[in-house]
Structure 1
Amino acid sequence: MKLLLLLSIIFLFTTIIIASINHDPNNEKNPSFYLIEKDERKCPKPKCGGYFISMLNEMGGEKTYVSELSTDPKLNGPMEIAEGRQMIGYGYTNRPSSRHYMEMVVIKIFISIQITISKNPHAQYYMIDSTKCLKPPCPMVTHLLNQGTDSHIKSIKNPFMSIPNIDEEWMTSRLYGMDDLHSIVQMTENDKKYTMTGMFIQVPDPIIPCPKVQDKCHGKEINVYSLDSNRCPVWMHCTMPTNCHVPMPKCQDGWDLHSFPSHPNGCLKYYCNPDFITPSPKIKSN
């Protein structure tokens, strides 16, 4: 009888310890950036079929299995997963007391832009902030993710700006963390010269949907627009139709074509946008 009572006390004490570990509030206070890869093993869930995560910029790149990705209340909108693309998640791991496998709780999600470019296994992951100065070009500040290391650099070689028909204002905004969206970039460094080899866009993009497209013109007049840094149409003025000779481009794989009647004469302007971001509102052209 005493032995049974002793075993019951030990079991209860062990359960309390495990529960306190599984629900450690400090896990939520220390989120990190992880590379997320789909588990392609074939066996019953949750043992397989989840994800492997590895902390960015960590030596060895040790992978940890998580049975699923769940969302933190801080996540902007539903979690978006792009099949076949590299993903980065900002969040923390958690082992619910009712489950045998860990999960990753995602606060922010980033998806890789598809571009043909040579990869470098030694590239590291950064966020970049622009600065203001009296005499341009102004230096930039790089933040080495998960390491707390900041550096000032003068320039970055950015092949992503050379993507055909890229929206440069949108790209610049995302690169430097404007509009409350901050991209993650992979970069190599050689003799203090930095080259981007990868770029991950935070989704959803934009965070707030574009407002309704304004239509103020009448008769044969054409509404003319520009796009803001969130790719939302901004009405500019009305104009009469004119002959436009702008060939329709073809976007490369992983990119979607978008067009709108542009300033000054209403001719269509074309952009290629990543196919996983929220499409820009469609605009009727006369």
Structure 2
Amino acid sequence: MSCDYYETLEINRNASDADIKKAYRRLALKFHPSSNREPGSLEKFTQLGEAYDVLSDSRKKATYDKFGEEGLKGGIPAEFGTGGAWSSKYAYHRNPDKTFKQFFGGDNPFADFYTSDTPLQYGYLQPGVVKTQDSPIERDLHLSLDDLFHGCIKKIKISRRVMNDDGNTSSIKDKILTIDVRPGWKEGTRIIFSKEGDQGPNSIPADIVFIVRQKSHPLFVRRHNDLIYNAKISLEMALTGFSVDVQTLDGRLLTIPINDIVHPAYKKELSGEGMPLSQSPSQRGNLIITFDIQFPEKLSVERKHLIKQALDFKQ
């Protein structure tokens, strides 16, 4: 009977090696006869083993992709081979448990089922099964700079599969997860909700992990605990002095006098006016003001002469 290995593993033909491994792991655990006693589970488990055995091997996969199952199991036609037909025709060993053990190695989630004198019997769930936890489910949590400055509460609705009271069937239910965003949290902060993923009879629900992603801000750029504000000024202001007005994230208006001559690398730093420190919100980083000096595009001869006179310090 002809079969489509990609369809068996529920992946497309552009799947990477990692995608193939992930798909086999998920489906092999789902249809393993020790935990799935539904009719046809053993045959499905065997099909998964054959599909993974072919697609995880670069040579077998390349042959299957080009010539299909017939070419894989019957040999490559002579005109396509480098030295005639491929003499080693493929045939699956029909031992999906062998494929399963080779895949999981020492981390076999069913390792406790195997002993030197008591092999695993398909279709029989032996006592002492060790449940494995699904991989964490990661989602981005996009927060504004104001959210991260003040802190806030975010409520996120998730839908997950939960086991019913009979212990055999399941249903989809919604749940609200509440995230207490603390002042000063940084990009990449991870918030973990333990075991809030889908429930199953023979698995531990996955952790749900939210990862903080900071949105851009129209005025400030964040660098660790510091805030950077860029002020555009004229050349005249850079040479003669001025003041900068900065509206802070907590609603104050700072007026900062600049009496120094502002050169391209000049910065003004205000201590304690940056982001709160997540471990100690009463302390804050710094506000760093940088300057973008706007030079005139053209100068008349008269203006050039006046500037030369003004900058001639020898007079």
TM-score bracket relative to the smaller structure: under 0.3
**Larger C-alpha radius of gyration, 1 or 2?**
2
TM-score normalised per structure 1: 0.22
TM-score normalised per structure 2: 0.20
**Structure with the higher helix share, 1 or 2:** 2
**Structure with the higher strand share, 1 or 2:** 1
